[in-house]
Amino acid sequence: MSSGLPARLLRRREISRRPSFLELFFDLAFILALNRLSRALEDDLGVGGAFRAALLLAAIWWVWFVTAWSTDWFEPRTPLISGLLLWVMFGGMLMAAAAPTAYAGHALVFAGAYVAIHLGRAALLLPALHGHPLQLRTLRVAIWFAVSGVLWLAGAFVGPAQVVLWTAAVVLDYSMARLRWPTPGLGRSSWENLQIIGEHLSERYQQIFIIALGELILTAGITFSQRGFDLGRSAAFALMFVNAVSLGRLYLVPGGMRLGAAIEAMGSLGSRLGLLAGYLHLVMIAGVLATGVGSRLMIMEPFSHEPAAVVTMAAGPTLFLTGWILLALAVHGRFSWQRLIGMAAILIAAAVGHEQSLLLNSAIITGLLILIAHGDTLATRLRRRRWA
């Protein structure tokens, strides 16, 4: 179909490659989500608390991810898609507000908003795509979200099994996307049917990563402002800033991952790389979230010796580096040994210095991040000289 409403809804791939203002506005809801998730993690720094926070992050990330892919296929400037973005944004804000108490009284708000977002998207798109081949793809996705929605809602009502049911729901949502939503009687989507615009999606990933770094700085800055400007806290705030800059530099160097170009070069199979990048960006953003929690704890009590806080401070860069190393391997086909060595050094430093102050541990981790960044630069220069 080349005319009518379905055609007007589709993004014109040859000219519309940059994110729209409304897409950037939609990202603001993620600031609230990360802020509330960091507070939930801070209140329960144990292994169980970290896993429960990870479940909530996975759900919120999936809302952002599916919406980013939707706007890669559909034109966000059309009234229907604009309304859909605002619907998802409001639902995401409800999920974010409920996140700190999602396991203690507001599970139905969190799960209900999640299910309403995904099924509401289908309710808007299915009639609008009538007669278009994309309607079948949207129907497959909607059916699987309805199945996982049963698990999300059941978990909200069955307290003792909540974590188990929500874990199953997350696994189902993520795995069905990788399997391209195989549906009895409807088949599964092809990678060609899921083809994406590499430049657009890679920019969306970069923008949401910057949003995550912005939330880290915002939370730390508010804590610093509230706690006072003594020497210890000022040093802790400075270390947080250097950490944020280091993570941003490590994300972009070398070459900003060249993710968009790699997706475009793969043609119809580029959607598979784009999906993998979505999973790995979740790992990197989880690292930024943990880094923010560790930074806040350090600014509050820079000379404390809380082991859980030390673990959190080390877990942040470790998660980030893990996601980045795997993404670099997928994009470049090259393993970053210098980053792997740096990640191991961070873990060893945290294990050896677990009885040292948070400020000292952060200074060591910051120094290692700077060395890793310089190692990247040196490795890039050596490769260029070898190719010259």
Report, in angstroms and rounded to the nearest whole number, the Rg of the chain calculated over CA atoms: 21
SS3 state of residue 275? helix
By C-alpha distance, which of 184, 194, 168 is closest to 267?
Answer: 194
Quickly list DSSP for 3-52: SSHHHHHB--TTT--SPPHHHHHHHHHHHHHHHHHHHHHHH--SHHHHHH
**DSSP-assigned letter for residue 253:** T
Handedness of CA 182, 183, 187, 193 (dihedral sign): negative
The whole model's pTM is what?
0.92
Q: Which residues pair with 10 in a beta bridge?
A: 74
The CB-side HSE value for 7 (13 A sphere, CA atoms) comes to: 4
The CB-side HSE value for 58 (13 A sphere, CA atoms) comes to: 19
Tell me what pLDDT residue 161 has: 93
Quickly list DSSP for 64-121: HHHHHHHHHHB-TTSHHHHHHHHHHHHHHHHHHHHGGGTTTT-HHHHHHHHHHHHHHH
Angle at the Cα of 151 from the Cα atoms of 73 and 94, rounded to 5 degrees = 60
* Cβ atoms within 10 Å of 167's Cβ, excluding its own: 17
- Cβ–Cβ < 8 Å for 361, 313: yes
Tell me what pLDDT residue 175 has: 96
Q: Per residue in 302-326, is it b (16+ CB within 10 Å) or e — as a string?
A: beeebebbbbbbbbbbbbbbbbbbb
Instruction: List Cβ neighbours of 212 (8 Å cut-off, separation of 6 or more).
Output: 30, 34, 285, 288, 289
- Cβ–Cβ < 8 Å for 137, 193: yes
Tell me what pLDDT residue 302 has: 93
Tell me what pLDDT residue 1 has: 38
Maximum distance among all Cα pairs of the chain, rounded to whole angstroms: 67
**Alpha-carbon gap, residue 217 to 65, rounded angstroms:** 23
By C-alpha distance, which of 317, 319, 305 is closest to 346?
Answer: 317
Start-to-end CA span in the chain (Å) = 50
One digit per residue, the tens of pLDDT, for the chain of length 388 reads 344 667 778 877 655 567 888 888 889 889 999 999 998 999 888 899 999 999 999 999 999 999 998 888 888 888 999 999 999 999 999 999 999 999 988 999 999 999 999 999 999 999 998 888 888 999 999 999 999 999 999 999 988 899 999 999 999 999 999 998 999 989 998 887 787 888 888 999 999 999 999 999 999 999 999 988 999 999 999 999 999 999 998 998 755 568 888 888 888 788 899 999 999 999 999 999 999 999 999 999 999 888 888 999 999 999 999 999 999 888 888 777 888 898 999 999 998 887 889 999 999 999 999 998 887 666 666 666 665 5
275 burial type by CB count under 10 A (0-12 exposed, 13-18 middle, 19+ buried): buried
